[in-house]
Amino acid sequence: MPFLTIVGPIVGAVVVAIVTYLTSRPRMRAEVRKLEAESERTIAETTKILSEFRVRSSNVVGDNALPTGWYVTGARPEDYEFGVDTQVFRSGRASAFIQARPGAKEFASLAQAFKADAYRGKRMRLSAMLRTSNVANWAGLWLRVDDALHNVMAFDNTSDARSISGTQSWDRRDVVVDVPEGGASIRIGFILAGEGRVWCDDVEFEEVGLDIPVTRNIQGLREHPENLDFEAGAG
């Protein structure tokens, strides 16, 4: 009897734990899937906005002059300030920056646009060194190729795992796309979404070999297909 008195509660606790585990697994999986779906939706929405917004220049630059050759664009450029910083830079004597104003929403970008003629049929990489201070949402790079009617032919940005947030020292980010033969214009830029400040320096736009993979939609993908006969059961 003493033995059963001791063992009984232990067995009961184990059974309860097993039942709880088995019944909670579907709920846990559902929560994980929900979080993954929300993350993917956020990235997709950001990508859609960036790939579809029509370039609109802005004269809102605060007390600073824009870097030569660059213009301001974005969903709400009026919520941000832009300029050249001669105190903070990675190399040379200056960097460019985007600074959010209090209550900044959406995103803004410093960008360039140029003809695609010299780059058609090539794999091109946009890279830059970025530094951030108190970035609440994210900062990163983007690259877009349009046809003559301004339809998007190729696009990528670093709003995924390649984005930067918080306060980070200089770090490299890059975007790699194939420029279609029908490409007419190329737009490149760096972006700040939400509060904080981002600096950009040492921008490069260069051709790379086919051994360098394009970066669009490859983050987190498996190397090969799996369970093609559906015999592995449910995930």
The whole-angstrom separation of Cα 111 and Cα 62 is 17
pTM score of the predicted model: 0.71
Per-residue pLDDT of the chain (235 residues; tens, 9 = 90+): 443 444 444 445 444 455 454 455 556 555 545 555 554 554 555 555 555 555 444 444 445 688 999 999 999 999 999 999 999 999 999 999 999 999 999 999 999 999 999 999 999 999 999 999 999 999 999 999 999 999 999 999 998 889 999 999 999 999 999 999 999 999 999 999 999 999 999 999 999 999 999 987 555 556 677 777 677 767 6
Instruction: Give the position of tokens 């737009």.
Output: 187
Alpha-helical regions (H) of 142-217 = none
Our CA angle for 99, 102, 103, nearest 5°, is 110
The whole-angstrom separation of Cα 53 and Cα 74 is 8
